[in-house]
Amino acid sequence: MSTKYFSLFKFTILLFLTGSAIPSRAQSITMSLNSNWQFHEKDEAGWHPAKVPGEVHTDLLANKIIPDPFYRNNEKKVQWIEKVDWEYKTSFKPSSLLLNQKKIDLVFDGLDTYADVYLNGKLVLQANNMFRQWQVDVKNKLINGENSLRIYFHSAQNKVDSIAKADLPYVIPDNPRAYVRKAQFHFGWDWGPKLTGCGIWKQVRLVGYNAAPEEKKYVPPVNVQLVQKPDEKGTSFYFTIDGKPVYMKGANYIPSDAFVTRMTKEEYRKVLTMAKDANMNMLRVWGGGIYEDDAFYDLCDELGIYIWQDFMFAGTMVPGDDDFFANVKEEIQYQVKRLRHHKCIVLWCGNNEDDEAWHRWGWQTQFRLSGKDSVKLWNDYVRLFHDSIPTWLKEVDDSRPYITTSPKYGWGDKRSFTEGDSHYWGTWWGGDDFEAFENKTGRFISEYGMEAMPGYASVLRFTQPQDRYLFSDVLQDHQKAGNGYKKLEGYLKKYMIDSAKINKLSVEDYVYVTQCVQYYGFKNMILIQRSHEPYNMGTLLWQLNDCWPVASWSITDYYNRAPKAAWYAVKEAYRDDVRPARDSIRPINLKLSGPHIKWRIEGDNIILSADAFAKYVFVDIEGYTGKLSDNYFDLAPGAEKKIKFEKSKITGSVKIKVKSYYDIKKI
């Protein structure tokens, strides 16, 4: 080695050893703080291991302190969790390299929700928004040695109850959850449990740097327009991507687990593949959940699924104080900057159903709102969604369209059929026939649906044998929709089975027939809507997925993301190469004779045949965790039907049960 290169080598080694070469002014040093956490209930003596990212419910589950809230009626047994405060703690030793940086930030990507953060016994941060990233300079509070980090979580339920009580007699409809920037579904929904917890739900780290890195210039990743132009029938509502109109076929997406930190990239892929394989090209991320993990949007980019992104407001009015608005501004701008590079996102939407709720849900009478209070609530709403959010958006992403609310008009307003997006709930909530869409298909239908039970395999997982009768307390606990079973009965007797027979059904048969009516409903509602193209340019059914095992409008189950019957109907109805025919006869009016169905296995195929016409043939493989290539299909007499399955997703021998709609008709 020459003297010149030897001297350069010594100089490089010296810089490395002293740390002065790392990082450069544009670099930073990061230390993860996700490890060695413990937690306990406030004032409890002992501490228990905790997982970060995580949630108090999952930590309690892992330590076997509570039963599984999804099993039987255990949801009721864990309600105490929301009423107490919780503490989390860890300790760590930063490196001298990190301590030598000019600035060191403590960064939380997500704290749920009211959290006081103490570093070495000193309060350094108070958080109050689940959807914000929180960071604070702790350079002067770190020590060279063991540092302690403690987080005190105040009960969100107690907090919002206290705020709402202090606000009386002024009332913000329709729930104290309106006051808190936390996932609204945590407070219960008509498809979800009430599990109002807390926790360090995203990554924690220290970041040291000598100079803050410059922010890269934002370059819009997608050329999208929302075309709303007056025409002879009203006003259009459709998306163009790179200048070309696109008919949107898809579903509404809710959080895929009531405990959102349990979602992995693999689990996201399961859910999103179910959308892609059902020929969907759009999902609406609903405003009562969360801004999803980066992995979700990465996969949507990869799979070619467009995202309608709600901001996280759903079914309430909003506080109008300056602190609330400042908090929301930080949230909106942080989340948009985090997500804006994703080509999948094509729309920002202010909220879910707030406008409709104000005008059509009777809040003014229910909450006895005075004229003055009513005016203030509406003005605060307008100021946030019509004025403030569009202004904040322009500062960080003026490349995508924004709408203030979804829907523009409620389903009782005739204008909902001629302009804006429509949530048509005349079906299900209004009891209308599925065929109502012949006259009530709007320009873009962003919500509509039909309920069904979860698969029987799911029922077996959350019940004991003594729970498996209609309509047991446990089955009632896993039906959150108001009068849900009564509404289901209405559709069953219209389309499937005499009402006198319903109570004679086993739970297994009841599951089957509710899934059949959901199949029939979604198939025909979609086909009617699509027949109105280009007047109608989008259909997003409610809903793709569940967050726990429950009777709901979802077309997939929570467990294993298994397809319900309707998933197969949607898959066919959303095809572009072939347009299936609508059903001309309701199943209840079909004249059927008992089919003798035979089947055999050839490799990864099941071959079925019948000696008479068989309707809604259901093939059930015991213990199977995959999805069949087809199911709930019609089988013509003498014809053979081949369906594919994956043997790798079965343990042991292949045990198959087959049933058809005739088995229900003959009861």
Residue 6 has pLDDT above 80, yes or no: no
User: Is it the case that residue 378 has pLDDT exceeding 50?
Assistant: yes
The stretch 114-128 carries a mean pLDDT of 98
Q: What is the pLDDT of residue 26?
A: 54
Give the least confident one: 15-29, 32-46, 102-116, 303-317. Answer: 15-29
Helix 507-530 vs helix 484-495: angle between axes, to the nearest 10 degrees?
Answer: 70
Q: Is 17 exposed, middle or buried (0-12, 13-18, 19+ CB in 10 A)?
A: exposed
Region 390-397: what's the mean pLDDT?
A: 98
- Percent of the chain that is helix, strand, coil (3-state, to 5): 35, 25, 45
Q: What's the pLDDT score for residue 215?
A: 85
Residue 240, helix vs strand vs coil: strand
3-state SS class at 398: coil
> For residue 358, is pLDDT > 80?
yes
pLDDT in tens, 70-85: 999 999 999 999 999 9
- For the segment 360-381, the average pLDDT, to the nearest whole number, is 92
> Does the structure show a pLDDT above 80 at 20?
no
Contact 556, 271 (CB under 8 A): yes
User: Is 537's pLDDT higher than 60?
Assistant: yes
Mean pLDDT for all residues in the chain = 94
- Count of Cβ atoms closer than 10 Å to residue 619 Cβ: 21
pLDDT at position 8 is 41
Mean pLDDT for the stretch of residues 23-32? 75
- Asked if residues 420 and 230 have their Cβ atoms less than 8 Å apart, the reply is no
In this prediction, residue 653 carries a pLDDT of 82
How high is the pLDDT of residue 650?
82
Q: Name the band, by pLDDT with cuts 50, 70 and 90, for residue 380.
A: very high
Given this model, what pLDDT does residue 649 score? 82
| Alpha carbons 155 and 153: distance in angstroms, whole number | 6
Pairwise CA distance, residues 149 & 37, whole Å: 9
Is the pLDDT at 10 greater than 60? The verdict is no
CA–CA dist 480, 254 (Å, integer): 15
Return the minimum-mean-pLDDT range out of 6-10, 206-210, 353-357, 524-528.
6-10
Decide: 72 and 461 in contact? Cβ < 8 Å. no
Q: Is the pLDDT of residue 3 over 80?
A: no
Structure tokens at 160: 């919002």
Residue type (1 letter), 361: W
Using DSSP's 3-state secondary structure scheme, residue 243 falls into coil
Can you give the pLDDT at residue 369? Answer: 87
- Residue 161: C-alpha distances to residues 55, 315, 319 (Å): 21, 17, 14
Other CB atoms within a 10 A radius of the CB of residue 95 amount to 13
Q: Hey, how many other C-beta atoms are within 10 angstroms of the C-beta on 413? A: 16
Q: Give the residue carrying structure tokens 């008919």.
A: 247
pLDDT digits (tens, 9 = 90+) for 447-456: 999 999 999 9
Query: Quick one: what percent of the chain has pLDDT higher than 70?
Result: 96
Q: How far apart are CA 321 and CA 333, in angstroms?
A: 19
Query: Residue 198: is it exposed, middle or buried by C-beta count within 10 angstroms (0-12/13-18/19+)?
Result: buried
- Give CB contacts under 8 A, 24+ apart, made by 598-606: 599/656, 599/658, 601/654, 604/644, 604/645, 604/646, 604/647, 605/642, 605/643, 605/644, 605/645, 606/642, 606/643, 606/645, 606/656
Select from 389, 405, 374, 380 the least CA-distant residue to 319: 380
Q: Which helix (H) or strand (E) holds 5?
A: helix 3-18
Span 647-665, mean pLDDT?
89
Q: What is the pLDDT at residue 651?
A: 78
| Cα–Cα nearest to 50, from 80, 77, 110, 90 | 90
